[in-house]
Amino acid sequence: MVKYSRQRECILKNLQGRRDHPTADMVYESVRMEQPNISLGTVYRNLALLAENGQILKISTGTGPDHFDGYTSPHVHFVCRHCGKVIDMEEIPAINLIDKTPAHFDGVIEGYELQIVGKCGACLSIISQSLITQ
């Protein structure tokens, strides 16, 4: 049985009120403005709970910490392989895989995750800088 908590509501509102893709630590720093005594463990626990409920998205980039997204409508993310930054790519339509799922599969398919990967503008200029100074 899930009980209300002021902290959880604050975390959800925070994510719903922004369109970037903060890490747990960034959410923690931001929520601390309103809830100065909140602990990082509480942030992690509630982010996991909210993501399980489908109220937020958890984005694992493979580069650094996980990111979170309060905007849950289907959309595609770009992930920078160099710094792990996440950027919305609304130009790319979300695809439909439901009718393509194999008939015989030992398990249940709950959805899919599509990430466009590459290097963001900031990292590109850092990399070109370091090539010059070599």
Partner DNA sequence: TCAATAATAGTAATAGTTACTAATATCAAT
Partner DNA sequence: ATTGATATTAGTAACTATTACTATTATTGA
The binding site for DNA (CB under 7 A) comprises 1-8, 23-25, 35, 37-42, 44-46, 48, 64-66
> Coil, helix or strand for 58?
strand
Q: Which does residue 26 bind out of a copy of itself, DNA, none, counting CB within 5 to 8 angstroms by kind?
A: none
Given a contact cutoff of 8 angstroms between Cβ atoms, the answer to whether 94 and 77 are in contact is: no
Q: Which does residue 127 bind out of a copy of itself, DNA, none, counting CB within 5 to 8 angstroms by kind?
A: none
* Minimum separation from the CB atom of position 58 to DNA (A): 8
Give residues in contact with a copy of itself (CB under 8 A).
58, 60-62, 66, 78, 80-81, 87, 89, 91-93, 95, 97, 100-102, 105-121, 123-124
Our CB check for DNA shows the closer of 53 and 101 to be: 53
Q: Which amino acid is at 6?
A: R
Write the DSSP string, 74-106: S-EEEEETTT--EEEETTSPPP--GGGS-SS-S
Our CB check for DNA shows the closer of 37 and 73 to be: 37
Our CB check for DNA shows the closer of 2 and 98 to be: 2
Distance CA 52, CA 77 (A): 19
Our CB check for DNA shows the closer of 54 and 64 to be: 64
* Minimum separation from the CB atom of position 90 to a copy of itself (A): 9
Given a contact cutoff of 8 angstroms between Cβ atoms, the answer to whether 38 and 31 are in contact is: yes
Distance CA 17, CA 10 (A): 10
